[in-house]
Amino acid sequence: MQIQTPDWVKHAVFYQIFPDRFARSQRSRHTFLNNSNLEAWDAPPTLQGYKGGDLWGVLEKLDYIQSLGVNAIYFTPIFQSASNHRYHTHNYYQVDPMLGGNQALRELIDAAHSRNMKIVLDGVFNHSSRGFFFFHDVLENGSNSPWVNWFKIQNWPLAPYDGNLPANYDAWAGIRSLPTFNHDHPDVKEYIMKIAEYWLKFGIDGWRLDVPYEIKTPGFWQEFRQRVKGINPHAYIVGEVWTDAREWLDGTQFDGVLNYLFNEAVLAFAVGDRIVLELVESQSYYPYPALDAAGYAAKIHSLLELYPWEIQLTQLNVLSSHDTARLMSIADGDQASVELSNLLLFTFPGAPSIYYGDEVGLPGGIDPDCRRVFPLESDWNQELLNTHKQLISLRQNHPALRLGSYQVLYAVGTVYVFARILEREELIIAVNVGTESITVNIDCSNLQNQPEQVLFGNGEIVWKGENVCLTIPPRSGLILG
């Protein structure tokens, strides 16, 4: 079969927003939230505290988001929920009133679409919450509840709050507040499919699927794809799978996954032994031990062999997210590490994603610290912001960086050089992760052109026949076009 993925994703730069922490508008204050028990905006985030960010706030910041060159936004969950991160869904048809309700989403989608920006929502379809109406009915009525078979109940009574007693029902990761759906039940399956369809008709451009590997019902994701693409053939379906995802990337299920395999390789190479191990060791990915250029080349080669090219172009490539410590903290505040990582991100096949605040150097440890509020402009790292804007602009102006083939030219010691090639357009990207300036001679006989204009970074370039002699300063990289 011929694999088809949404064309727009190949040209997208995503911005990931955790809505409670990005921007707080005055518009929500005109409702019943005037005297809410909110944490101070600039206080360190806590596991259960709310900051009161909302979708109106995002709407007011669309100029800023667009100024980065971003053309797609992925939101962590926005439906009504009893948690600041909203992975505990109460009502799948209602945007949380604290975020501005369905009206705020309506205005935000319309404003984004008028700017040719896409909106992707987080679909939490593996589990609901204790406050979800159907589960709540089971808590109230026990085995008499009409919804008892919607969940995986082993015994009675249920113990949704008392950790000293057996819960007696399946919950995600054993967390009692997150009862797991029984996806084998036809009504549950239909309920989830209808939610997916409803919001696509409302105008969203795709779904990011939370822990989709937990849903084992045969044919579930295949039907999900058919139903989603039936409403919008160009909708993006991206799964949160941190490991080898071939099982879901056969063309019948997802268009891509969150590419943590790419993240691991980039951080191990660009940050290397500067990585703060305690920020990554307890997580589900392995951006350590440090890699040299040959080790990085080997990892990237195996990653590019893993999935069909059509899927590679619609992977969602991340350097950090709401589930990891932030890049600036992982790199122990080393700006060169952050810039090198971003150079590799924005020149790689697949859609790059920026976790809000990373572009201005926002630090943050493991959750909840990685979910800090977006900083005041006075605290922005302007140099890093300019690097992001420059790289995004280059990606958008050079189709080869989005669609071009990927060819490694050199991978020795601290230096990694590759080309992105699309028809006559050829770009050379060179990175030196070492602490000394280095000169390398690279065989470019496979290239048709001899790109010599430095589009990004700095260094010395001398062409000698079909070879290019590059001198690259320490801890830096460059793009030739």
Q: How far apart are CA 185 and CA 188, in angstroms?
A: 5
Give the pLDDT score at 31.
62
C-alpha to C-alpha distances, 446 to 38, 102, 359, 453, nearest whole angstrom: 60, 54, 35, 19
C-alpha to C-alpha distances, 406 to 4, 12, 14, 350, 411, nearest whole angstrom: 20, 18, 21, 12, 14
Give the pLDDT score at 36.
75
Give the pLDDT score at 35.
64
Per-residue model confidence as pLDDT tens digits over 116-127: 999 999 999 999
Give the pLDDT score at 192.
98
Give the pLDDT score at 80.
97
Instruction: Please state whether the peptide bond connecting residue 19 to the residue before it is cis, i.e. omega within 30 degrees of 0.
Output: no
168 HSE (CA, 13 A, CB side)? 15
pTM value is 0.97
Active site residues: 210, 240
Specify the residue for token string 């009206």.
103
Q: How far apart are CA 317 and CA 259, in angstroms?
A: 5
Residues (pLDDT < 70) of the chain are 28-35
Per-residue model confidence as pLDDT tens digits over 383-422: 999 999 999 999 999 999 999 999 999 999 999 999 999 9
Give the pLDDT score at 283.
87
Tokens of 227: 């139903």
Give the pLDDT score at 67.
98
Give the pLDDT score at 269.
98
Give the pLDDT score at 34.
65
Q: How far apart are CA 14 and CA 22, in angstroms?
A: 15
Q: Which domains are present in the chain?
A: 7-126+181-397 (3.20.20.80), 404-480 (2.60.40.1180)
Give the pLDDT score at 282.
86
Give the pLDDT score at 28.
63
Tokens of 437: 């300036």
